[in-house]
Amino acid sequence: MHSVKANGAEIPALGFGTFRMPGEDVLRIVPHALDIGFRHIDTAQIYGNEAEVGSAIAQSSVARDDIFLTTKVWVDKFRHDDFIASVDESLKKLKTDYVDLLLLHWPKLEVPLAEQIGALNEVHKAGKVRHIGISNYNTALMDEAVSLSDAPIVTNQIEIHPYIDQSKVIEAARKTGMSITAYYAMADGKVFDDAVLQDLGSKYGKSVAQIVLRWIVQQDGLIALSKTVGEKRALENFDIFDFEISADDMKAIAALAQKDGRIVSPDGLAPVWDN
């Protein structure tokens, strides 16, 4: 696996996500994912499984320092004191004294962004987090966050799959040295029925999931989060570093993007998205 370097961070290009994953599944599949080679684990306060992620990492055969661990602060904890307390609670649940990356989960601006970024910087300076980032930010908010932060912002975690054009956000991130972390890569399962992706899978001798994940990590500065509760699928998702998609085929996948391709845009949380 290769890593993505971004503003001082070195982030494994393929992560293992735990969104909507019950605790019992986390305890079973995360140690397996680490055994087969995953070194980047992604969770969040709102997922309700930080404690199980921490137990799974502690029970695995992989040393904590060899794992890049990400969690995210939920929007109801953005006030300074709530923020600091929530990070301490996350560390306790995760059974660690630091996380490698802490993100603001959504850009909810009832709390001023300066206060949110200030709290991020505070826990970074205290050594509780090694790197800081944002999630679901548009380009204007990315620029504002960068201007407000003393510590470098290393990633913006956003929805990326073949049916959404995120080129504006990706380009903006590159200009600041920031990486992009892709979630919802399988477009809620839509990719599996796509004839173009099926044909590419046949061409390269890979599954549709492998084609999509490879398409993401093959782009400069992009990190892909994969997710599964199945042992065989986890191994399949990890097996994407022994082939390369041609430039023409990369363009063919990007050409699947649609104007209404966005899937995740919750009311009360989502910003005004870039066109």
Active site (catalytic) residues: 47
Secondary structure class of 130 (helix, strand, coil): strand
Tokens found for residue 224: 């892909």
Tokens found for residue 158: 């956003």
Interior/surface letters 203-241, b for 16+ CB within 10 angstroms, e for the rest? ebebbbbbbbbbbbbbbebbbbbbbbbeeeebebbbbbe
- Given a contact cutoff of 8 angstroms between Cβ atoms, the answer to whether 3 and 12 are in contact is yes
- Computed on alpha carbons and rounded to an integer, the radius of gyration of the chain in Å comes to 18
Q: What is the C-alpha to C-alpha distance for residues 187 and 94, in angstroms, rounded to an integer?
A: 29
Q: What is the C-alpha to C-alpha distance for residues 181 and 41, in angstroms, rounded to an integer?
A: 12
Tokens found for residue 4: 């993505």
Secondary structure class of 271 (helix, strand, coil): coil
Chain-centroid distance of CA 179 in Å reads 10
- Given a contact cutoff of 8 angstroms between Cβ atoms, the answer to whether 50 and 71 are in contact is yes
- Given a contact cutoff of 8 angstroms between Cβ atoms, the answer to whether 119 and 83 are in contact is yes
